[in-house]
Amino acid sequence: MIKLFLLHKNVYSHQTVLCIVQSINARGMVIYNKKGQAVIKQADLFLSISHSGEWAVIGVGAEKIGIDIQHYKAKSRDFIEYVTGETDISVPLFSKIWSIKESFVKWLGTGWIGIEPNEIYIDFNLQKVYSKTETAYFITSEIFESYVVCICSELSSILKERIMFE
């Protein structure tokens, strides 16, 4: 099971992350690795954090997850083509694609090091996202009519989850 927390940017801080981790009885300590990714050290839980616009999302789960939130915001035509291979795409659809790819690289634990956005492929029908070497499942949800949240996991059981915040 994945616990999700939605925080306004004015509330989000490292201290808030620590309090959330402690509130779910995680005895581990939150640290940031060399890639800047927050991890729970010495615990059987996984942590993923994202922020965009006014909001931050924190996900904690028993399995490795990647989470991303994206505000619907217009991007340059060149960036859209770089990420999707297309130029004529709506802002909400682009935000969803970008959120899926962001959550995937967070799930990988690599960030964008060694992988390009156009090397990540999405199968919307099967709710799978994959690179040349890795495959994961994803779920997405629109919130506040102008944001999309995506969670990535290697377990297909995530497809049965609903994105709901604590």
Three-state helix/strand/coil letters over 45-80: CEEEEEEECCEEEEEEECCCEEEEEEECCCCCHHHH
Nearest CA to 96 out of 121, 70, 114 is that of 70
Per-residue pLDDT of the chain (166 residues; tens, 9 = 90+): 788 999 998 888 878 887 887 777 656 677 777 777 777 766 677 889 999 999 999 998 888 899 999 999 999 999 999 999 998 899 999 999 999 999 999 999 888 988 999 999 999 999 999 999 999 999 999 999 999 999 999 999 888 877 778 7
The H or E element spanning position 2 is: strand 2-8
Domain ranges of the chain: 2-160
pTM of the model: 0.90
Task: Determine the 3-state secondary structure of 130 from DSSP.
Answer: strand
- Amino acid letter, 158: I
> What is the DSSP secondary structure assignment for residue 102, as one 8-state letter?
H
Could you tell me which CATH number the domain at 2-160 has? 3.90.470.20
